[in-house]
Structure 1
Amino acid sequence: MTTSRWLDNPQRYGRISRGLHWLMAALFAWQFAGALLYVSIGDTALTRFVGASHFTMGFTLFILVLLRGAWGLANLRRRPPHPGRLGRAATTGHAAIYALMVVVPSLALLRQYGSGKPFAPYGIPLMPERDSKIAWLMLPADLLHYWLGFTLLVIVLGHAGMVVLHRTLWKEDVLTRMT
């Protein structure tokens, strides 16, 4: 098997980019499902079941977005082009998605550290327990994590909606680049 299938090219994204995209899409769907369930039905056995993985999934997504960003930068010159005004809009939309995918979990990690509670995703101790809280570290996430998370959801839904518009309105099958 040649390496060209793994790398991006001007016609479509390579296997690594596509794998990261769809893995992250599935994990974000789980995260958003949990958040939407909690907002709509409150604290129940179902929301606790789905929400039990929220911290670990968020951390996983944070690591994946960093890897995906590095991979994207390494493949930048090979990726499918986004020409014209719509291309600039797509680039801006993608930049907003990436920025939020970094900022939202960063805020959560900052809050977690400030809380003094231990954090050990997958049993890996990242933050030890402390006796006291650091309120000013928790404040940014308390104010923004929720709202920026739902802003990310809206932009991601817009991203998916643009795929449909490309297909139906402009007769461009951009989805095949990522499938």
Structure 2
Amino acid sequence: MAPKSVPLRDTRQLYGKVTRLLHWSIAALMLWQFFGMGLKLLLGRQPVVAFFVGSHQAVGTVLFVLIALRVVWALVNRRSRPDHGAGFWGLAARLGHMALYLVMALVPTIALLRAYGGERAFAPFGFQIFPAQEPPITWTVNLAGALHGELAWLLLVLILGHVVMVGVHESMWRDGTLARMAGRRRAGL
């Protein structure tokens, strides 16, 4: 029997094409961001590091837009998404996803706050979004400076927990969670 095509929207059995596209696009861009920041911590100022760090603002801007779309799409599809299950593990999955969404949205929002109050114009891709502030808005720059990086590392920990739980679902529970997100259908779905 030929597999059915994946629907655009989420269903109770699997995540749709839009959710998958947003999920994997955000995952790839976050990997890029964390890789660049990891290189910066390990190697300091090197040409290869400058290449990755130089794209941080533009990639972060794209991430902000994709994350906003993902949150809206998740809300639109909230009643037709695969269930997280009942009991402790279902609650843990719901809370874990809520934490991921919250921190995922906060990190670029705080960076935008810093950009808004900064002394340099914010112009990713050459389009000015915020002009330079003279003098800078100190509280926005300081707040974002104190929180952006720390929340980003918290996000990395949440992402690693997310990946570990995918491994638990696949290796121990064998419930098809990865198949619902990765595009494969299990028999009977």
Q: Structures share a fold, TM > 0.5?
A: yes
> Is residue 130 of structure 1 aligned with residue 142 of structure 2?
no
Contact 2:117/2:133 (8 A) holds in 1: no
Residue in 1 aligned with 2:167?
A: 164
Equivalent positions of 1:5-84 (< 5 A) are 5-84=7-86
Query: Please, what TM-score do these two structures have when normalized by structure 1?
Result: 0.95
Unaligned runs of 5+ in 1: none
Q: Does the Cα contact within 8 Å between 2:12 and 2:80 map onto a contact in 1? A: yes
> Equivalents in 2 of 1:3, 1:169: separation in Å?
28
Gap runs ≥5 in structure 2: 183-189
Shift of 1:173: 2.2
Identity rate of aligned residues, in percent? Answer: 41
1:139 alignment partner AA: N
Provide, for residues 124-165 of structure 1, a one-character-per-residue CA deviation record: whole Å limited to 9, x for no partner. Answer: 210112332111111111111111101100110110110001
**SS in structure 1 of the partner of residue 120 of structure 2:** coil
Q: TM-score, normalised to structure 2's length? A: 0.90
Report the residue type matching 2:97 in the other structure: H
Give me the whole-angstrom Cα distance separating, in 2, the residues matched to 1:136 and 1:147. Answer: 17
Cα RMSD, aligned residues only: 1.5
Select between 11-20 and 39-48 the one with higher mean Cα deviation.
Answer: 39-48
Letter in 2 for 1:7: R
The count of residues paired between Structure 1 and Structure 2 equals: 178
Q: Distance in 2 between matches of 1:52 and 1:75?
A: 36
5 Å-filtered alignment, 1:88-167, equals 88-167=91-170
Letter in 2 for 1:33: F
Bigger helix fraction: 1
